Structure 1
Amino acid sequence: MSPALQRPASKKNIESFIKDMEGCLLAVIICLRPEPSEESSSPNNDAQTSEQASKEAKNVPIGLLAISNWGSGFNRHRRASLGLSLKEESRGKGYGPEAINWALDWAFQCAGLHKVSLGCFGFNHHALGLYPRLGFVEEGRERESVFYRRAWYDVVLFSMLEHEWEDLRSK
């Protein structure tokens, strides 16, 4: 998710990341509901036991989603950036599109945004195909801006405008 040098995170890095998330318009941890256990789903258990088991089970975090703006002095422009990161084993299962669509609905319906932007690294072929399918329009590229595994890649910039989102939701 970050173009920063990959290395173990220090306590200071983690605290800075949490502070950044707290400053976002929206920052959520994407979780899956736990699978029901065989015991709680057997026909011999009553509803109360099943309800208790589901309360004790923990949601499984699989990623992060954030919508951030440029800061309080820029609110009048009604634009923000969307960031999404999923655990590798959770990719390709439809969670990304579901989370992005949910975030876009929130951004345009609740936050009153006019434009939502995002960027992706040129080596992320799955995302490069996904974003246009969701209705994002490519705006441009930052050529050879990211060095990854001994090669240079573009950062591809996408956005969706409020009226484009409305058109998608009216179909």
Structure 2
Amino acid sequence: MPLAFLSADRDTAATGQDVVPPHPDPSQWRRPYRLGPWRVGIAAFALLIAAYMLISALIIAVAGTLAGATATVAIAALTILFSLRLLRMGVWVSSRGLRRVGLLTTRTLRWRDVARISTVQQPVRWLGLPRSVQGQAVQIELRQGEPLAPLLTDHSVDFLGRRDLFERAADVLEAWAAENRH
């Protein structure tokens, strides 16, 4: 059963296609790549911790401390929300524009504001940590305004060790930009 919040794509390896097929409804927001194992693993671990917190909240409530149980449930709920947001993070595209979803913020750009999307060699952050390594990044150039941070890198949680999928995602983003810019 496909889970739309994980990826709006079909598995390109199973279909044998190099580029992700277009969505039947181009106005729908969709992720042009599949989530990486690092992101899914971190979210699964956080959900596991949240399950233990909910069990401990039940034990605390049975023991008679309602305030402690309430605090534990609240922390577990925040952990679950963190996990869900972590799974939503990334780049999304539609015929209306490009959307970058972060942990706390979301930024949407209209296609007409995008001058060019290209892949460049540059130092990139490894798994989002402060350590930089040489890699590839998908850069976006706006018609006006400040330069943006790279959309995707080949050393991010979605593409570490999956260079071919990074190249496919970069190609798909460039194709969406070329097709929808007016």
Does the alignment reach a TM-score above 0.5? no
Normalised by the length of structure 2, the TM-score is 0.27
Normalised by the length of structure 1, the TM-score is 0.29
The higher-RCO structure (CA 8 Å, 6+ apart) is 2
> Which structure dedicates a bigger proportion of its chain to strand?
1
